């Protein structure tokens, strides 16, 4: 599977919403359920709209006559405008935006360092994630312990150096399988190709050979991500009291459960095999995989096979989706600014010559590439907000700010990264700005790396709840970019520029109808 036609439209949320709702409404009597659900949504929104639990200004109303229900609907496509408007007016305090399912308190980043020290028993990051996903997406296992986080922190990240050859091998296989080899310009859906590359590498590390090359597994893992998101997105339009009914008439709900059944069919025997080898003292002979590590460190109910499978699938959501988008953003940005290709290729060639190929110590030396990825993420983050938390108890901060129990808070991460007092000339795409910062401040050489976080850079989150898989994602992205940039040329079609991004609530998505032109670099141009 390596043609653009096969990959067309594989991940376009806006298009998928239309398709899903068309399927939904064609189910006859479910049309009546929809009318009732919309009416109840409006009614409940009107009831709760005047309940002000948070003492902060509400942002987004066009006039005092605008119904709150309409404001909540507009947030779906105008979230960026609303959040940026609130940030300009209240950057040092806080304000409230009204999403369809909740009022969200957007806080100043001056509170970040204090908030990140508050224990999970009082302020929950997983609770916010689950609130976004809802109870009918099979992701609620995340609330039942942190095994999936522990395995990333304690096993995957510390072992990245040891498994770098495995990652590289699967990247090589995936590129050989998925990327066109013609020396003539060929039109492709780069997002679809990258999605499959990331799915292959993720599967190689998570479940190993031969499953990582099983089309049934690859399809299930890719589709599960899409179906979970779309189920959550659609249900968010309606009151939670209706979710048990509505979920069961959504095509995406049935599809994600089908994806989960496929995963169970494949993973159950692998878990049993690993347990038997462990009992026989043969586990050390197996290939290292995230699944095996997860089984090894699980305890009590965490070892229930169904729960292990669910956690595996949860990890695929972030592993495939956000990593794919990050890579696609970087390639689009290079196509839009081709003058930066030569210096990046020169750095790659120099480092590869020094190390005689890609080794575990090679990637940290690619500072220009690291800076490119961070700058690209600044313009194309997965969400315009980050550091989402839910107050599980009433909280009073050191300056007297009171957060009622149930407050859903977040920080305007994208606005921070476009604030000229934080990032000079923020409107300019400057892929080497972070490399220059690293070179100019030796004492802070690691502060400006792609994977680092602080109160001004929250795209990965911050503190102990920062994305635990970001080091793995960075490794994947750099290995793929090395091969693609040294082996292929990329450009937009004549007269076309960088594809625009789409907003759905606070999430940012690529335009998957976009195409780029690609050709194999000719003899004498290739370095790998």
**Any idea what the CATH number is for the domain that residue 159 is in?**
1.10.630.10
Confidence of residue 51 (pLDDT cuts 50, 70, 90): very low
Is-contact 335 197, C-beta < 8 A? no
Amino acid 438: pLDDT: 87
Q: Residue 10 CA to chain centroid, in angstroms?
A: 16
**Cβ(456)–Cβ(109) below 8 Å:** yes
Helices 190-206, 215-235: crossing angle, 10 deg rounding: 110
pLDDT of residue 49: 44
Nearest to 247 by CA among 33, 26, 99, 48: 33
The Cα–Cα gap between 270 and 236 comes to 36
Among 26-30, 103-107, 171-175, the least confident range: 26-30
Provide the terminal-to-terminal Cα distance of the chain, rounded to the nearest Å: 23
Residue 385's pLDDT is 97
Backbone angles phi, psi at 390, to 5 degrees: -125, 130
Domain of residue 480 covers: 17-520
Q: What is the mean pLDDT of residues 185-209?
A: 96
Residue 6 lies inside a defined structural domain of this protein = no
Q: According to the model, what pLDDT value does residue 38 have?
A: 53
Q: Which residue has the tokens 């999605």?
A: 195
Residues belonging to the binding site are 467
Q: Tell me the C-alpha distance between 468 and 456, whole Å.
A: 19
Q: What is the overall mean pLDDT for the chain?
A: 88
Is residue 329 in a domain? yes
Q: What is the DSSP string of 372-391?
A: HHHHHHHHS-SBS-EEEEEE
Q: How many domains does the chain have?
A: 1
Q: Are the beta carbons of 335 and 491 closer than 8 angstroms?
A: yes
The answer, yes or no, to whether residue 52 has pLDDT greater than 90, is no
Checking if the pLDDT of 267 tops 50, the result is: yes
Closest CA to 372 of 413, 337, 412, 408: 337
With cut-offs at 50, 70 and 90, classify the pLDDT of residue 528.
very low
Handedness of CA 20, 144, 457, 483 (dihedral sign): negative
In this prediction, residues 383-402 reach a mean pLDDT of 95
In a domain, 3, yes or no: no
457 lies in some domain = yes
pLDDT confidence bin for 27, thresholds 50/70/90 = very low
Spatial separation of the C-alpha atoms in residues 328 and 197, rounded to whole Å: 12
In angstroms, rounded to a whole number, what is the distance separating the alpha carbons of residues 528 and 524?
11
Q: Answer yes or no: is 106 within a domain.
A: yes
Mean pLDDT on 128-150: 89
Q: Residue holding tokens 């229900």?
A: 69
11 domain-assigned: no
- What pLDDT is attached to residue 442? 60
Percentage of residues of the chain with pLDDT beyond 70: 88
pLDDT of 3 strictly over 60: no
Q: State the pLDDT at residue 4.
A: 35
At residue 7, does pLDDT exceed 80? no
> pLDDT tens digits for 437-486?
988 866 566 789 999 999 999 999 999 999 999 999 999 999 999 999 99
pLDDT (tens digit per residue) in 222-262: 999 999 999 999 999 888 899 999 999 999 999 999 999 99
pLDDT at 23 over 60: no
| Binding site feature residues for heme | 467
Region 191-214 average pLDDT? 96
Section 87-101 average pLDDT: 95
Beta strands (DSSP E) in 412-499 are 488-491
pLDDT at 525 over 70: no
Q: Across residues 357-362, what is the average pLDDT? A: 83
Cβ within 8 Å of residue 311, ≥6 positions away: 141, 142, 147, 148, 294
Angle between helices 305-336 and 190-206 (to 10 degrees): 140
- In tens, the pLDDT along 278-298 reads 887 776 677 889 999 999 999
Q: What is the pTM of this model?
A: 0.89
Residue 202: pLDDT over 50: yes
pLDDT given for residue 279 in this prediction: 81
Distance, CA of 448 to CA of 169 (rounded, Å): 29
Helix (H), strand (E) at residue 320: helix 305-336
Confidence at residue 240, expressed as pLDDT on a 0 to 100 scale: 86
In a domain, 5, yes or no: no
The separation between CA 259 and the C-alpha centre of its own chain, rounded to angstroms, equals 19
Report the pLDDT value the prediction gives residue 141, as an integer from 0 to 100: 87
What pLDDT, on the 0 to 100 scale, is given for residue 277? 86
Which of 10-14, 133-137, 145-149, 384-388 comes out lowest in average pLDDT? 10-14
Distance in angstroms (rounded) separating the CA atoms of residues 268 and 278: 15
**Beta strands at 408-411 and 102-107: parallel, antiparallel or unpaired:** parallel
Give me the percent of the chain exceeding a pLDDT of 90: 74
pLDDT category at 25 given cuts 50, 70, 90 is very low
Residue 10 falls inside a structural domain: no
């Amino acid at each position: 599977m390596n043609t653009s036609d096969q990959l067309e439209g594989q991940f376009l949320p806006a298009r998928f919403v239309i398709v899903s709702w068309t399927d939904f409404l064609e189910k006859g009597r479910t049309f009546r359920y929809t009318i009732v659900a919309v009416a109840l949504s409006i009614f409940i929104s009107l009831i709760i709209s005047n309940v002000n639990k948070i003492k902060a200004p509400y942002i987004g109303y066009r006039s005092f006559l605008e119904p709150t229900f309409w404001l909540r609907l507009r947030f779906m496509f105008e979230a960026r405008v609303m959040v940026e408007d609130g940030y300009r007016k209240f950057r040092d305090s806080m304000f409230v935006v009204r999403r369809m399912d909740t009022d969200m308190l957007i806080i100043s980043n001056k509170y970040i360092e204090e908030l990140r020290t508050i224990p999970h028993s009082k302020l929950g990051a997983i609770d916010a994630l689950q609130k976004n996903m809802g109870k009918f997406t099979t992701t609620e296992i995340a609330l039942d312990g942190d095994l999936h986080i522990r395995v990333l922190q304690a096993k995957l990240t510390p072992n990245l150096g040891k498994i770098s050859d495995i990652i590289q091998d699967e990247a090589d296989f995936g590129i050989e399988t998925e990327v066109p080899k013609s020396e003539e310009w060929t039109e492709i859906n780069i997002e679809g190709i990258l999605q499959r590359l990331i799915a292959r590498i993720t599967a190689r590390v998570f479940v190993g050979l031969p499953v990582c090359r099983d089309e049934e597994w690859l399809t299930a893992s890719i589709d599960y991500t899409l179906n979970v998101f779309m189920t959550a997105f659609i249900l968010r339009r309606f009151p939670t009291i209706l979710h048990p009914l509505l979920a069961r008439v959504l095509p995406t709900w049935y599809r994600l459960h089908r994806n989960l059944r496929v995963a169970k069919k494949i993973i159950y025997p692998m878990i049993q095999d690993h347990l038997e080898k462990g009992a026989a003292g043969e586990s050390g002979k197996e290939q290292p995989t995230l699944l095996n590590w997860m089984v090894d460190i699980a305890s009590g109910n965490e070892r229930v096979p169904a729960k292990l499978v669910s956690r595996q699938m949860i990890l695929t959501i972030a592993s495939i989706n956000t990593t794919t988008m990050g890579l696609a953003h970087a390639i689009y940005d290079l196509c839009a600014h081709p003058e930066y290709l030569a210096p990046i290729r020169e750095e790659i060639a120099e480092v590869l010559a020094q190390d005689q190929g890609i080794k575990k110590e090679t990637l940290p030396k690619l500072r220009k590439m690291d800076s490119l990825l961070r700058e690209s993420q600044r313009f194309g983050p997965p969400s315009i907000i980050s550091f989402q938390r839910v107050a599980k108890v009433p909280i009073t901060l050191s300056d007297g700010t009171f957060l009622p129990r149930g407050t859903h808070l977040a920080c305007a991460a994208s606005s921070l990264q476009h604030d000229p007092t934080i990032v000079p000339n923020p409107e300019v795409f400057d892929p080497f700005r972070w490399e220059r910062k690293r070179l100019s401040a030796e004492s802070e050489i690691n502060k400006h790396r792609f994977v680092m976080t602080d109160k001004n850079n929250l795209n990965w989150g911050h503190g102990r709840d920062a994305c635990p898989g970001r080091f793995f994602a960075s490794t994947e992205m750099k290995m793929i970019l090395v091969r693609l940039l040294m082996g292929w040329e990329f450009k937009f079609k004549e007269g076309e520029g960088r594809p625009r991004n789409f907003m759905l609530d606070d999430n940012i998505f690529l335009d998957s109808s976009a195409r780029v032109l690609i050709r194999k670099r000719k003899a004498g141009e290739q370095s790998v």
